[in-house]
Structure formats: structure tokens, C-alpha cells
Structure 1
Amino acid sequence: MTAKDKLLEAAVKLIRSNGFAGTSVDQLCAEAGVTKGAFFHHFASKEALGVAAAEYWSASTGGFFAEAPFHALPDPVDRVLGYIDLRIALIGGPPEAFSCVAGTLVQEAFRSSAAIRVAAEASIMANARALEADLDAAVAQCGVTGTTGASLARHVQAVIQGAFVLAKTQPEDAAAELAREQLAHLRRYFAMLFGRDTGEE
């Protein structure tokens, strides 16, 4: 890994655990094992690091979700539910183990840094756009009216980000359970919307 990669990996870890404001350049350098000079060689400021961290997060997580097995399912409803199932499966441990870097950044910096807000928006909405085609196909297949794939995709991201916020309000041993509960409700909503059996009486 290059020094820049090490700094971005350190940023992902520290922003998730300490927040952006609570993470200093000195902490980033110590975590990455690089000098302060190396930091400023790659990033003009801490804000520039925040923008790069959102972009790095988007690229790495986007690649992961793009290769997920649910894409191979022939039915678009199954693909939508498969995405939610994967998101549920990824939740475990303390909030810093499963929360979103882009979401954390924008919660803190949406007023203080337009650059970070824009980078975080691009990351979160890229996840939404990746769901639009499957949701559009599911809506058409099931005859759902009054909404669009794009709107439903934004709703998915709103629930996921909200679940992460709620998880952070809990003691460490209860955080993941609360987040999974919210995504289970989201899955139930889509199963009902698209006429699938929820397995409940």
C-alpha cells in the first residue's frame, strides 16, 4: 500500500470510531504509520482528506456490492430483497464496524464543508442509483403505482443511514441488534409492497 492508501484506510477506521471532528491529522498519521509530511504531500488539508475518504469509501464499497451474488437472481424482487439481506448480514459488532463513512462525514460536516457534503452525497446516492434498475423492474412486474424505483432507492438509503444513527445511541452490545431490526422492517415493507409472503401470520 502507498502512504496515501494507508492514510485513507486509517481515515475509514478513525472516522467510523471517532468521527471526523474527533480525528486529528496526528492520529491519522500515527494510525497509518506515516509522517505528517507524507500527509500534506497527498492532502492539502484535513478537509481534502475527508473528501478523499468519502470517495475511497464509495469506490471500495461500490465494488463490493457490484460483485454480490444477489445480482445473479433472475427475479428483480429477489434481487431487491437479496440486497437488503446482504445489508442485514453485514451488521455486527460495535457501530464503528458497520456504519457508513460517508454518512458519518455528512452528519458532522454538512454545514461546515460543502466539499465533504458533496462527496458524501455522491457516495450515498451512488448506492441508491445502483438499486434503481432492480426497483424499477420490480415496480413494473408487480404493478405498483404511485412511486418510482429512484424514490424507493432513496428510501432504502434513508432507512440504512437512520439505522446506523440509531445504533450509535445504544450500548455497544445492543447497537447491531437495533440496526438489524430496522432493516428487517425495511425488508418486510418491500416484501409486502411486492406481494411476497413475509412468513408472518
Structure 2
Amino acid sequence: MDHAPPFGKSVWASPALFSDAAAAVVLERDEDVDGLLLYSRDSQSFDGGPGVSDPLIHFLGGGNDHPAARPGSAELACYGMNAPEITRYYSRGMTLNHQALNDARPGYLDEVARLYTHQANPTLVDAFIRETGLSERKAPSNVRQLGNTVTPSTLALLHADHINGTLAFDDRACFSVVGSGPERGTFIAPIRIPTLPPRPVEAPDPGSRQACAR
């Protein structure tokens, strides 16, 4: 073969690397909502320096160069993972997402009911949650149950909260993800699924100034 599979010691068939899954979410623009959105194409620039040149997930199969059913194509129909770069990029990328949100909206974690993160790997997810000082109550995880389903795994967290009654109508949630490319993004938005109940209004403290006002 003229081209050996990249990262030959860490080669995976596609279904083994990314578990098959599908998900969809409907987003609606509302000019009256004070949300927040960040997107960064880190192949162009990353963390104040040059862009990340490694695509993180390498795939040489398919296309005109190595079409399917040609000699040697089967060996290239696998993904190679650059594990050290994936670890570095996930850890730093998620931290940059968090820092950007906190700069734009100081204390944003107190504002959101849930933080839904990219479920790439249990070790990486746990490290980010630990370093950010989060708890499972604020930042749930499903990577140990579902594996790496990429974007669908993040939306599956929202779906589970919907089914379990964890969320209330108009709760704010934050989504923060990174991906190969490399690129990353994060946003804060209210969750307005019609079947969600409203959050109960807390009764004012009887001794508070507000409660005593006439």
C-alpha cells in the first residue's frame, strides 16, 4: 500500500468509534431573549496562536483517491484517532468555551439550570467537570451509558431531562461542545418545550422588605 492508515495502533471502524445515533432540535429566534452564542473555527486560530492543523480524526478512505471496492480500500475505510491531540484540544477547547461564557456573562453557571457538554470520553468529561467545579446535578453525563454519539449525545442529555421532569419551562440551559475540524461552540438559551411545566414561584420570605411593603 502506498498509504498506511494513520495512527495504525488506534484504528477504528466507523460504528465502533462513533456509535450510530440521530437527534434533532428546533431552535427559534426571539429578539427579546438575552441569550449568548459562540462559535470558533480553530483550524484558523486557536487560543491566541496559530490554528490547529491536525484534523484529530483521520480518514483516508473514500473519495476519488481511494474509492471503495478498489485494492487496498478496505484498510483505509477506518478512522485513525490522534489521541494526544484530541485530549489536548478537548481539554483546552472546553475550557476556552467556559472562559468565554464567563467573560461575557460573569457567573453564568448560576444562571443556567443545566450545562450540557460534549460527551467525548468519560475521563475527559470528568476532568472538565472537576476543573470547572461543577456537579452532576448541574452538568449531567451519559457517555458511560451511551458511548460517544457526538452531537446526539449532548441532545440526549436534554431529552433525558425532559422525560425525567428535571427541567421547567423557560429554564436556561447551556450547551458546550468541541469537535474535529477542529471547531467548537457554545450557547445559552431558554428551553421552551411546550410540555414542560412552569417552575413553581417561590413564596417570599414573610420577614422580607418586599413581603412587608404596603
TM-score, structure 2 normalization: 0.26
- Decide which structure has greater helix share: 1
The structure with more strand, counted as a fraction of residues: 2
Higher-Rg member (1/2)? 2
* TM-score, structure 1 as length reference: 0.28
